[in-house]
Chain A
Amino acid sequence: MTEPTTPLMQQYHAVKKQQPAALLLFRLGDFYELFYDDAVVASRILQITLTARNKEKGQAVPMCGVPYHAAENYIARLIRAGHKVAICEQMEVPGPGKKIVRREVIRVLTPGTATGAGLVEAKENNYLAAVARSAGTGGAAVASGASAGRAGARISDSVIGLAFVDLSTGEFRATEFSGDKAEVRLRDELGILRPREVLLARPATLFPVTMPAEMDGLGAVETRLDDWVFEANYATRILEEHFRVAALEGFGLVGHSAIGARTPEDSAVIPSLRPAGAGLEHLDRISYYEQQEAMILDAVTVRNLELVEPAAGDDASATLLRAIDDTATGMGARLLRGWILRPEISLQEIEARLDAVAELKSQTVVREEIRKTLEGILDLERLTSRVTLGVATPRDLLALRGSLDRVPALRQLLATAFASASSNSSASSTPESDASRLSCLREELDEMADVRDTIARGIADDPPALPGDPGVIRRGYDAELDELHDITKKGRQIILPCPAILA
């Protein structure tokens, strides 16, 4: 690349240097422009014309651009294609006498930190994962990995930690792998989770040998963070601050490692979300789990059996997921996908589910009623996350209420199903579980009368799309507001003379 000559391109290169891994959308007037390789990549994904900026010493600079007012849609497509996107804005108004306006990167969007409706798949989780290795013989092994290379990373008693979060639903879990098959098991787990983005410590000591074939297909963006972010001390402090707890024992994170270090990688998730501007209040718990709690299906098997994605050349409907997914809700679809990728190995759990399926199968009328009721329920997990993130619109709240309004009916239907089923299903139910799965689920269903009431009283029937616009709050919710409304209405009538005498 030749040395840029114009001030503008010098500025571009300075900004790009800070964001080498992201596609840089560089604001120029009414357009976001991309240059060089970014332009080539983006033009292919977005199907927009690749042009050239010819002024660089006569050498063509590939360039393409999208109008700023339509940028959200284009950005969403870049994110969904698995790219990071950095948005560089003009920070001052151009005017006479100013040679060049100041520009700064104001947002960096990544596949793992995106939460917008256009950015994540409704029926899939959008995981951001962090992987870290804590070495048995001291952290130096990780730090020295860059220079020592392969030799430095071969530590048999190291523990690999994995944490992952779905910002759109608030799910936050962690596990760890040890022993000589730790790397294989990590790959298996990543193959199942299919994170959109993986956070790794810089330098790359995680996979000392060449990446195995199954990692190629993961399609995850890699983000490198400084290795101190993965240090256990830092991790503990960050998590304790985040969850506002004095110790992490309550989350089951402690004592899982032979060397006494807890999973250090969780911390990396939290700081890395900050630059993305994501609100984290809804990540209110983290849970530890063991990979062995499920039947293991490695990435090769998931692909070979076409469990969730068709093989190359096969019809999209050729997957097990498509064949058995007739769920009514986005949450149900995501759970089904999770169950396919992590079948149970607990006989008790399996039998509890089978009992429930048997009951529902035999009770056709109740089942179809439940199904109809479920069909009106929107994605409560993601609506809840939008509420806790502070980005829920008035219409989101109405959707939340409309969905919750169906919960009492579900409870009623389950009561019916359970009452009649308990009398004749004793033969097949497992002795360990006193209550059937359906009655447990009924107990778990909270009618949320308080929340429904708040929304019903507070939010107008046909509110504007954005919370900042007038008319969000329902009449009768707040006396002061009602009175003010009257005042402004009357005030206008009084102040505004009839149109005929308007000048």
Chain B
Amino acid sequence: MAKSILYRATKEQQFTTSIGLVLMVACICYALSAYIGYHVTALLLLVTVSLVAMFFDIAPVLLAAVLSALIWDVFFIPPRFSFAIANPEDALLFALYFVIASVNGALTYKIRQIEKVALKKEEKEHTLKLYNTLLNSLSHELKTPIATIIGSTDNLLTHASKLSEENKKELLSEISKASVRLNRQVENLLNMSRIESGFLELKKDWVDVSELIYDVVSRLKEHTKEHPVGIIIKDNLPLFKLDYGLIETVLHNLIYNAAIYIPRYCVITVRAACVNEKLVIDVEDSGMGFPPQETEKVFDKFYRLKSAQPGGTGLGLSIVRGFVEAHDGTVKLENMPEGGAKFTIEIPAEVSYPASLKNE
């Protein structure tokens, strides 16, 4: 812990701390010079420099080495209070002191460099692992529909005469389904790259949130056949200034996710309200909820639940977070005490109350 704090010390702090430490030790030794000889002082100063070398960069360490050598020479080696050294043995000692202190600093610096390289390597490995996860899920998600399309079209092109009308229709409908799936994944990837690029420009306009919610829910009805969807909108909900397309995607992903992952006949409830000038929408389901240790991670890019079945790229919820954060909003996930999960998004936005326009 201490190490990490010192690591973050600025250059100036490192310099002042090393000078301070050397001066402090020198003062103590000076005060105790009646009891300890100047040889012991040399060792104590050397220990100080070594301690400095353990935590700081090379420059402050070398400064500490030079400073302590000079102090030792001037204040401790006889004759005191002069740079002169009377005894040749002491001169040798002084030279050795300087060399040891400098080598100390240099060695530590080397170790530090090796550490840095190792850290970089570790980071690189982490990125590589993430990249592989991405490649795996992506290639699965993209190749499965492509395989379906290639297989079905081959079949239709080369064996058309052997296929019954019914089988032909089935192959065609498989092709259609696969293309829709492919399209969805490509859209996810495009959305993700919009977020990643940092050029996500919001096109804000007045949005009737109730209309938006009903719109999204009715477009998802194919996927929510087995899940009743309840919509609860607070009365007199104002209009909000939002990017319709992005919030539409956010809601789409949340409801779609719920519909895909919860057991049959579990209920999905969407609520919208205006709390302190913020739009608050939550999507709650009566499914099994999320493993508590994973509720924070689900918004990470490419993160998939440990228990997740194959399929899915782990992009949906990270897009949710990206688009909500683009509106300076927040999204959180919690497990409900009675089971099920609840996603809550809160978006600060300009509001307009329709009542003020009614008299026309």
Does B associate with A?
A: no
Give the interface of A toward B (CB within 8 A).
none
**Residues of chain B whose beta carbon lies under 8 Å from any beta carbon of chain A:** none
